[in-house]
Amino acid sequence: MTVLERLAALRALMKENGVSVYVVPGNDPHASEYMASHWCEMQWLSGFNGEAGTMVVTMDRALLWTDSRYYLQAGIELKDSTIELMRESDVDCPSITEWICDQCTMNNVQCTKVGVNPEMFSVNDFKEWKEKFSEAGMEVKSIDLIKPIWTEGRPAIPQDKLYPYSADFAGETVESKLARMRKLAGERVKVKGEGWAMIISALDEIAWLLNIRGNDVEYNPVVISYVVLEADKCTLFVDANKVDTMAQNYLDFNNIDIKPYEAVFDYIASLSGTVLYDGARVNEALFEAIPEGCKKVNTKSVILIDKAKKNAVELEGERIAMRQDAAALTRFFKWLEELKANGEWLTANGKLTEWDLMEKLHEFRMMGENFVEESFGTIAGYNGNGAIVHYAATKDQCAEVKPEGMLLLDSGGQYLDGTTDITRTVWLGGRIPQQAKLDYTYVLKGHIALQRARFPRGTRGNQLDALAKQYMWEAGITFGHGTGHGVGHFLGCHEGPQNVRTDNNPTALEVGHIISDEPGIYRTDKWGIRTENLITVIPAKPTKATTTEDEWLQFETLTLCFYDTNLIEMSLMTEDEIDWINAYHVRVYKETAPLLNADEAKFLARKCAAIEL
């Protein structure tokens, strides 16, 4: 089916079921950012392959809301589809609910039914929509209209085996985690001594809690499942095909009961007492299964909060993974430079492409100890493609890379030790435009400023966001994506609740949090420039001004990779910034060189050579 045929089939079902508007979010039942392809309904319906977006379909219009990361991509992929792009970051762009209400008012439609699949909506979002539409005289109808029309070629729910994740890597046993989470959950039960249960649907929370991993979602070592945690038992709802003898013995040893994946609804329906759930992560269909007689407590996940604070073993694992990653990147950039130096830029296919770069970097990462897979699809954006924030080259659709111009390389690896995410922008050759040097330096100065920050305990990420943007703001430039996101430990490359971005996030940065530091500048059809390190929050070193009562924090830089110093406009740099870069490069060489051969180490030493004003 083409996109137009899919829209026609959906509208026929809408008419048959009395639905005037149907909404298809880019979600799965587990509130995942990266989803198993079985649930990529928005992408299937629209032909847009971005990770974030929501489709709204009426009988005569189709629209897709997405954020600034995907404007260029969506403009290309929605061409000739009749689907209108709604740029949700624009100040004059209405929200989805505002647009639906306005359309119904303008068309004088009464009691409009808005159809949604409750498995794809969180409890909080469903409640908000229901209230807003009720005020406008509209009804929200729980109905799945995608399943009846996506009958051909729909991927099955993955059946890969789950496997235990050793406490040697996790830094804590399942027994210890369950005991602590039960204590924290029990403290949130309003009636002490009453029976309680907590619904857990987020895949990374389940993987962390039970020390299990899997291969169900690309780039994310998680297992498609649900968990219901109670004071006296823990039940994992997972397809039986995913549990082999080793996994069964592991789960039995940790007193974890196993039931079929779909049985979670009947199990929830049998609960009594107090039921805890995170309304931002648990889907509406699970919530509706809770018996009326239960006390329902909507509370932020205790696992989400605890998981974000990495323990000492996890942090040391991250440092190990960063060294492996640094070796891979060093080999990659050496290979790339030598292609040009030896006059061998062309490949066997007659040209070098972005796809070739992605494959070569993957080849070098596979050499790393404990490497499992990439942590997301590598972004190799040459020249103008680098300006597409979440650009995704494919083997059949990718740009030729020439030995001149700008390359933005955003990549990461999943190692048993930890998760990496790094962006470097490099100049491949030719005369460097002055604007490119200015842009690179504005980005680099902000990138350094955030990593050098000292801040009092209780500081939130949005309070630090301007540090990374201050220099480009002075030049009248900004960017639309977040400055930093949380990062998991051999889990999701993106995790919360912490971040660094303009939006107000009440979560304070705490010791053990890992975030990215990735400001950028994007010039359409010219280049994209982004520089990214992962950093973790640590106690600040005391200064003469601090007292024993002061509680200050700072960052430790985890990522290890040199910067392209040829792109720096030295006239904009301060001595302190140059000293920081030089000290960082000394550390990069010291920690990476032992993993390299003599030629690779020599190359790295040249890239890490001290610079001066």
Q: Tens digits of per-residue pLDDT, 556-605?
A: 999 999 999 999 999 999 999 999 999 999 999 999 999 999 999 999 99
Q: What is the mean pLDDT of the chain?
A: 93
Crossing angle of helices 575-592/312-341, nearest 10°? 90
Cβ–Cβ under 8 Å, residues 335 and 360 = yes
For residue 554, the cross-strand partners are: 454, 538
- Which is nearest to 346 in space by CA: 400, 300, 302? 400
Cβ–Cβ under 8 Å, residues 190 and 273 = no
CA–CA dist 531, 327 (Å, integer): 18
pLDDT in tens, 133-149: 888 888 899 999 999 99
Amino acid 284: pLDDT: 96
- Which is nearest to 160 in space by CA: 236, 226, 223, 207? 223
Amino acid 138: pLDDT: 87
- State mean pLDDT over 310-327: 98
Amino acid 119: pLDDT: 96
Amino acid 519: pLDDT: 98
Domain definitions of the chain by residue range: 3-142, 163-306, 312-607
Angle in degrees, CA 593, 375, 436, rounded to 5: 70
Amino acid 345: pLDDT: 66
pLDDT at 356 over 90: yes
- Which is nearest to 562 in space by CA: 381, 409, 367? 409
pLDDT at 349 over 60: no
Burial 528-567 (b: 16+ CB within 10 A, else e): bbbbbbbbbbeebeeeeeeeeeeebbebebbbbbbbbbeb
β pairing state of 274-277 and 295-298: parallel
- State mean pLDDT over 311-316: 98
Instruction: CATH number for 163-306: choose from 1.10.3720.10, 3.90.1520.10, 3.40.50.620, 3.40.350.10.
Output: 3.40.350.10
Amino acid 112: pLDDT: 78
Cβ–Cβ under 8 Å, residues 418 and 495 = no
pLDDT at 393 over 60: yes
Amino acid 487: pLDDT: 98
- Which is nearest to 415 in space by CA: 378, 377, 374? 374
CA–CA dist 97, 105 (Å, integer): 12
- Which is nearest to 604 in space by CA: 321, 380, 404, 326? 326
Better pLDDT: 107 or 247: 247
Report pTM.
Answer: 0.91
- State mean pLDDT over 254-262: 97
CA–CA dist 6, 149 (Å, integer): 8
And the tokens for 156?
Answer: 């099955």
pLDDT in tens, 535-570: 999 999 877 766 555 789 999 999 999 999 999 999
Strands (E), 278-431: 295-298, 371-374, 379-382, 405-411, 413-415, 418-419, 422-429
CA–CA dist 494, 187 (Å, integer): 28
Distances (CA, A) of 246 to 89, 163, 178: 48, 8, 21
Residue 256, judged by CB atoms within 10 A of its CB (0-12, 13-18, 19+), counts as buried
Side-chain-facing half-sphere of 101: CA atoms under 13 Å = 14
- Which is nearest to 487 in space by CA: 479, 497, 477, 478? 497
Q: Is 371 helix (H, G, I), strand (E, B) or coil?
A: strand
For residue 220, the cross-strand partners are: 217
3-state DSSP of 222-267: CCCCEEEEECCCEEEECCHHHCCHHHHHHHHHCCEEEECHHHHHHH
CA–CA dist 351, 581 (Å, integer): 35
Better pLDDT: 533 or 107: 533
Amino acid 592: pLDDT: 98
Q: What is the DSSP string of 26-76?
A: S--TT--SS--GGG-HHHHHH----SS-EEEE-SS-EEEEE-GGGHHHHHH
Q: Name the CATH topology of 312-607.
A: Creatine Amidinohydrolase (3.90.230)
- State mean pLDDT over 233-249: 97
Amino acid 413: pLDDT: 98
Amino acid 547: pLDDT: 59
Amino acid 427: pLDDT: 97
Q: Is 436 helix (H, G, I), strand (E, B) or coil?
A: helix
And the tokens for 162?
Answer: 């789950």
Amino acid 111: pLDDT: 58
Check the CA dihedral 583-584-590-591 and report its sign.
positive
- Which is nearest to 328 in space by CA: 518, 487, 561? 561
Q: Residue 60, by phi and psi: left (phi above 0), alpha (psi -120 to 50) or beta?
A: alpha
Q: What is the DSSP string of 321-364?
A: HHHHHHHHHHHHHHHHHHHHHTT--S-TTSS-BHHHHHHHHHHH
CA–CA dist 44, 440 (Å, integer): 37
Q: Which residues does 444 contact at the CB level (< 8 Å), separation at least 6?
A: 531, 563, 568
Alpha helices in 137-242 (DSSP H): 167-170, 174-186, 203-210
β pairing state of 405-411 and 379-382: antiparallel
Q: Which residues does 32 contact at the CB level (< 8 Å), separation at least 6?
A: 202, 203, 217, 220, 222
- Which is nearest to 515 in space by CA: 524, 505, 523? 505
Cβ–Cβ under 8 Å, residues 214 and 160 = yes
CATH code for residues 3-142: 3.40.350.10
CA–CA dist 392, 378 (Å, integer): 8
CA–CA dist 510, 90 (Å, integer): 32
CA–CA dist 234, 256 (Å, integer): 5
Q: Residue 202, by phi and psi: left (phi above 0), alpha (psi -120 to 50) or beta?
A: beta
For residue 406, the cross-strand partners are: 427
Residue 22, judged by CB atoms within 10 A of its CB (0-12, 13-18, 19+), counts as buried
Cβ–Cβ under 8 Å, residues 84 and 61 = yes
Cβ–Cβ under 8 Å, residues 453 and 467 = yes
> Could you check whether 163-306 and 312-607 share the same CATH topology?
no
pLDDT at 194 over 80: no
